[in-house]
A = this chain, B = another copy of it.
Amino acid sequence: MNNKVNVKEKFIETASKLFQIKGYNATGLNEILAKSGAPKGSLYYHFPKGKEQLALESVNLAGQKIITNVINALDSIENPVEAIKFNIENIAIIIDNEQKTSDISISLIALETYLTSEILRKACDEIFTSLENIYAKKLIKSGISKDKSYELGCVIAAMIEGGITLSLTKKSGDSLRILAKQLPNLINI
């Protein structure tokens, strides 16, 4: 049964990467099975409700990793502007090096599923809200008012998601670097 857990985790990790990079609709179960090295029956044993259930657990795993990365970046620098700049510049480097995104953004899955799967929409909604709150709390610590911090948290989350979209489309982290450069104008401490 130790193996059972590992098989299920392997499914989720493989699916999480593929869903983020290629998208929900472009990723077939066959591809996930091939990369996991397991047969189809095994997948439906672990995920009786099929693709949507696998996607839900995949999105949640991706969300955990993204949130952890952001928290680590923000915790490494005390000044919130410098900390968020550091976080954005890290993402820019990843996009320049890899030209695709895993554990960076769930925008693609969110946009693909918000109309067709209420379960997945809610999962993405919660992750976006968590990210906004993480940025907000960093700002509150530095003395910015609670109300303004939560509004800026939303703006920062939107900027970063949009910046990732632009950078991926342009195949260059420069769009994100411009965001980072202009961040001090937005947050006047």
Q: Which residues of A contact B (CB under 8 A)?
A: 21-23, 25-26, 99-100, 107-108, 110-112, 114-116, 121, 124-125, 128-129, 151-152, 154-155, 157-163, 165-166, 168-171, 175, 178-179, 181-182, 185-188
Contact with A155, one of B23, B151, B179, B188 (Cβ below 8 angstroms):
B179
Taken together as a complex, chains A and B put the C-alpha atoms of A115 and B22 apart, in Å, by: 8
- Contact between B128 and A169, CB atoms less than 8 A apart: yes
Stoichiometry (number of copies)? 2
- Contact between A151 and B182, CB atoms less than 8 A apart: yes
Question: Which residues of chain B come closer than 8 Å to A155, judged between CB atoms?
Answer: 159, 178-179, 182
Can you give 9 A-B contacts (C-beta < 8 A)?
A25-B26, A25-B112, A100-B115, A128-B170, A157-B162, A161-B162, A161-B165, A162-B165, A185-B185
